[in-house]
Amino acid sequence: MDNLKQKDFPVARLLSPFTPFALFALFAYCVPSHATDITLLTGYQFNSNFEIVSAGDLPPVVKPDTGAPGEDVDLDDAAAFSLAIDFLFEQDRTKRIGLYVSREQTGFDSNAGLADSDMDVTHLHFTAMSYYPEGKLEPFVTAGLGAGFFSPKDSTLKDETKLSGQIGAGANYQLSDSLLLRFDVRWLFTFFDSSGEALCSGGCTIAVSSDTYSQVQANMGLMYRF
């Protein structure tokens, strides 16, 4: 028996990374028909500004193209790609709980004085949704809470992970029992400390000018319901 356990242990370790996928597949198989929604969305994300902090707050930056302290730094609006997975809540077809993840590749304006202005922004939220079906149309409202991940590419900036949430509304249109078209608009808000620096790793100029950093998404996509 000892030899058998020794042989089985490496196999268990090998299979363990696949456990979450196996549990998800088992859950999807066991839930009632048409109880799970998987939606792929593409859209456009509108970003609020950051600002340049003063030399008294952080070490001075010597780049000649850096803007003056207090000047706004635009974060480019850009395409966003999202995945939503929603499940029935308490077997009520008008209510869903789920997971929402979105990703945007954007960049700071040149007055930030960065060698590399690019930044990736990712939001991962647990969500709740209520549907108000009218024939083939399914208007809905949604809210969520989770984390926002800000990943700048410049060496003077560091990654930030902050509490974030969302409020949104939209509608699904049934093309068939299993295939639906979705349109939605979402306000994404991330909580920063406006009294301190943001994204800084020494010698940077970027800060957030308010406690809540706002982004807005306008999305459309296809949903598969099974």
Backbone φ and ψ of 15, nearest 5°: -85, -20
Are 156 and 203 within 8 A, CB to CB? Answer: yes
pTM: 0.79
Exposed, middle or buried: residue 22 (CB in 10 Å: 0-12, 13-18, 19+)? exposed
111's tokens: 């007055």
DSSP helix/strand/coil, 30:
helix
pLDDT number for residue 197: 62
pLDDT number for residue 66: 66
pLDDT number for residue 219: 98
pLDDT in tens, 6-33: 444 443 443 444 454 454 445 545 555 5
Domain locations in the chain as residue ranges: 33-225
Residue 214, CA distances (Å) to 8, 92, 211 in order: 51, 32, 10
Architecture of domain 33-225: Beta Barrel (2.40)
Residue 198, CA distances (Å) to 49, 72, 150, 193 in order: 13, 14, 10, 8
Residue pLDDT tens, the chain, 226 long: 444 444 444 434 434 444 544 544 455 455 555 689 999 999 999 999 888 765 444 444 445 456 666 678 899 999 999 999 999 998 898 999 999 999 999 999 888 888 899 999 999 999 999 999 999 999 999 999 999 999 999 888 889 999 999 999 999 999 999 999 999 999 999 998 755 567 776 656 777 767 889 999 999 999 999 9
Cα dihedral 11, 14, 20, 22, rounded to 10, equals -50
DSSP helix/strand/coil, 203:
coil
pLDDT in tens, 109-144: 888 888 899 999 999 999 999 999 999 999 999 999
